[in-house]
Structure 1
Amino acid sequence: MKENILEILKNLHFTEYEAKAYLALLKESPLSGYAVAKNSGVPRSRIYEVLDNLVIRGDILVSPGNTPQYTAVPSKELIKSRRKKAEENFELAEKSLEKFEGSSNDRENIWNITGQTEILEKVKACIFTAKKRILLEIWKDEYEELKSELKQAADRGVNVTIIAYGEIVSDFANVYHHYMGNKITEEYGGRWIVISGDDSEVVAGIVSLGNDSRAAWTMHVGLVMPITEVMIHDLYLIEIMEKHKELLEGSFGKNLVNLRRKFSIHPDFKKHYVD
């Protein structure tokens, strides 16, 4: 049990000697330096150096005199202090590192992402940083993986709009079901995902190939703008189909099949992006 506590204290940036001295004082205080060495097993030649470090850091207190006495800061107070310091360090690191981020370079590069899990993690990062609007084109399979993050975004005031393939139901997002639904998978042979965050960041790719899934992430305006606008035009078409489906299918066939056939270059009328 004591060995476990020592390892825990080491994770809080105690040295082994510091951890042993603190535990000795936590068990019995106040003690002289000699008594701490005796009770903790810290060599007498090192004990005062160790105690001085703990005092400077605020982990123990010292009462000066002919024979200084030492006492441990209570464990709850120690943890509270460590947590506050860690949060301060994280905040400082976040602000400092932002200054070194190559935001201008980010807007010129296109980054490849391989693997379904890795793609979804990048999508989650995009969701996390969005402040105004998320446009998301997604199948139900991947939606379930991202539902929690999307709800958190909606809760902080982000407008979440989803172009859904399959039966996606949400009480926090605007959901537009694609008029072809799951049938479109037969044509494309796989599922894709596209997200636009605040019209400034895009992740787009195929996510149905497991570890061989491929996607790209970019802030390059030359791609962010057209991809975002294609998604918006999908929304236009979905609303138009809802209001004028009979008229449009009368001109272009069921689910606008004649239009899709007209602009397909494949004799079998199927897409081959994932072959």
Structure 2
Amino acid sequence: MNGRDSGADADDVVAALKEFGFSTYEAETFLALQRLGVGSARDVHELSGVPRSQVYGAAESLAEAGLIDVQQTNPQVYRPAAVEEVKDRLRSRFETRYDLVVDHLTDLADRREPTTEQRQDVWRIEGAASVASRAVKLLETADDEVVYVLGERTLVTAAEESAVRSLVDRGVEVTVVSPSADLRERFEATGAEALSPDVTDGSPAVSRILVVDDAGLLLSVRGREETAIWSLDTMFARTLSELVRESLVSFVGGFSA
């Protein structure tokens, strides 16, 4: 577009208007009229560079959208709608498109039948940062109770501590089990109950076992990098969560299933 606009760059404004469904010529015609106040097709062409033959069609579309007024003179003269009216029109245009997309996606999701594989999903992730991030997301789903077993050398993030603190503040019962005195002290500071296992001859490869409401589970082991499997709201998660809780009773003092 020719000329200069104060504030946002003209090309950026044209690009934004195109996101609302306007063509390039429509956007450039509208922007030119905003600068002119009132103008003919010739005026718009001279200011914006839009071919004069294209201004008429663009102006007709803009008028149908309620963004400009057309004075039926010879030649025709165009005037942009008031800024507040334009804002309302653009907002309505966006909301209409948004509702259309959301309604369509919702309809597709409602018609999709979940398969057995989808209901039994078990996911695998690698890398300590990814595992810790997933642990935080699972912790955030808790409503009643969390059991978090951490190995001696598990690298626990501040985000995990913060998530546990938030759960305690919400009244969720959180129990952390670890042979590491440092980790127990850190989680005690969040308000969680911290217990030490009675036995220490378990697999040193186990890094984390997280059980959330008997509905979510994360189990990670250490190799060259930390690797975990996790599941939420599946039969696998519920079954393994029960087994984990039962096994904790036998080697953690003060823990009850």
State TM-score, norm by structure 2: 0.62
Q: Equivalent of 2:192, from 175, 187, 194?
A: 175
- Partner residue of 1:51? 59
1:98 aligns with 2:91: no
1:16 aligns with 2:24: yes
Alpha carbons 1:177, 1:238 under 8 Å: kept: no
- The residue type equivalent to 1:47 in the other structure is V
Distance between the aligned counterparts of 2:163 and 2:97, measured in 1?
A: 25
1:217 aligns with 2:231: yes
- Distance apart, 1:53 and its partner CA: 3.6
Q: Equivalent of 1:204, from 203, 206, 219?
A: 219
SS for the counterpart of 2:125 is: strand
- Partner residue of 1:61? 68
- Distance apart, 1:176 and its partner CA: 2.6
Q: Equivalent of 1:40, from 28, 34, 48?
A: 48
1:111 aligns with 2:123: yes
Q: Equivalent of 2:210, from 190, 194, 208?
A: 194
- The residue type equivalent to 1:49 in the other structure is G
Alpha carbons 1:109, 1:219 under 8 Å: kept: no
Alpha carbons 1:18, 1:50 under 8 Å: kept: yes
Question: Whose helix proportion is higher, 1 or 2?
Answer: 1
Alignment of 1:232-243 (within 5 A): 232-233=245-246, 240-241=253-254
**Structure 1 residues 115, 73: CA separation in 2 closer, same or farther (over 3 Å shift)?**
farther
Identity value in percent: 15
Alpha carbons 1:30, 1:70 under 8 Å: kept: yes
**Structure 1 residues 202, 13: CA separation in 2 closer, same or farther (over 3 Å shift)?**
farther
Distance between the aligned counterparts of 1:97 and 1:127, measured in 2?
A: 30
- The residue type equivalent to 1:41 in the other structure is G
- Partner residue of 1:161? 174
Which sits farther off after the overlay, 31-40 or 69-78? 69-78
Alpha carbons 1:134, 1:158 under 8 Å: kept: no
Distance between the aligned counterparts of 1:176 and 1:242, measured in 2?
A: 10
State TM-score, norm by structure 1: 0.59
Number of residue pairs matched? 234
Distance between the aligned counterparts of 1:3 and 1:111, measured in 2?
A: 44
SS for the counterpart of 2:148 is: strand
**Structure 1 residues 35, 83: CA separation in 2 closer, same or farther (over 3 Å shift)?**
same
- The residue type equivalent to 2:122 in the other structure is I
- The residue type equivalent to 2:79 in the other structure is Y
Structure 1, unmatched stretches of 5+, are 244-275
Structure 2, unmatched stretches of 5+, are 1-8
1:228 aligns with 2:241: yes
Alignment of 1:241-256 (within 5 A): 241=254
- The residue type equivalent to 2:193 in the other structure is Y
Distance between the aligned counterparts of 2:163 and 2:27, measured in 1?
A: 39
- The residue type equivalent to 1:145 in the other structure is A
Distance between the aligned counterparts of 2:165 and 2:44, measured in 1?
A: 53
- Distance apart, 1:39 and its partner CA: 2.2
Kindly report structure 1 stretches of 4+ aligned residues shifted beyond 6 Å. 148-155, 183-186
